[in-house]
């Protein structure tokens, strides 16, 4: 569950999103959305319940139709932190699954 500033920031980093990308994914407007996320991650503002639920959904693999294209990553969970095992295989650092490394070429 996402309850603290640390939980919130960890979730964003796990998703591989910048503050601006997360603001857009959460439908927070412009600079106000950016500042709101910064204040949450700095512990100046509590984590709003609807944002916590949305982040938990993103971490579970839900992706809105306008999810940043550069964050396709793992075809299983959508995780963006991956590494090459060899020339042909990649492994997701989020779910641990291995998949065809050619899928990363679009990133």
pLDDT tens digits, one per residue of 47-103: 999 999 999 999 988 888 777 765 456 776 767 677 778 878 878 877 888 877 776
Lowest mean pLDDT among 12-26, 37-51, 89-103: 89-103
**pLDDT at residue 76 in the model:** 67
- Nearest-5° Cα angle at 70, 24 to 18: 45
Q: Which of 11-15, 24-28, 41-45, 65-69 reaches the highest mean pLDDT? A: 41-45
Mean pLDDT calculated for residue range 15-33 = 88
CA distance 54 to 58: 6
pLDDT of residue 107: 43
Q: What is the pLDDT of residue 65?
A: 78
How far is C-alpha 41 from the chain's CA centre? 14
């Amino acid at each position: 569950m996402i309850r603290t500033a640390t939980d919130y920031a960890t979730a964003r980093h796990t998703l591989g999103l910048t503050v601006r990308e997360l603001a857009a994914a959460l439908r927070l407007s412009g600079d106000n959305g950016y500042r709101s996320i910064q204040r949450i991650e700095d512990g100046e503002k509590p984590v709003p319940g609807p944002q916590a639920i949305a982040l938990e959904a993103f971490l579970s693999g839900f992706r809105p139709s306008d999810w940043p294209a550069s964050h396709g990553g793992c075809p299983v969970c959508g995780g963006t932190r991956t590494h090459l095992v060899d020339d042909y295989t990649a492994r997701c650092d989020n779910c641990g699954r291995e998949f065809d490394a050619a899928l990363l070429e679009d990133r």
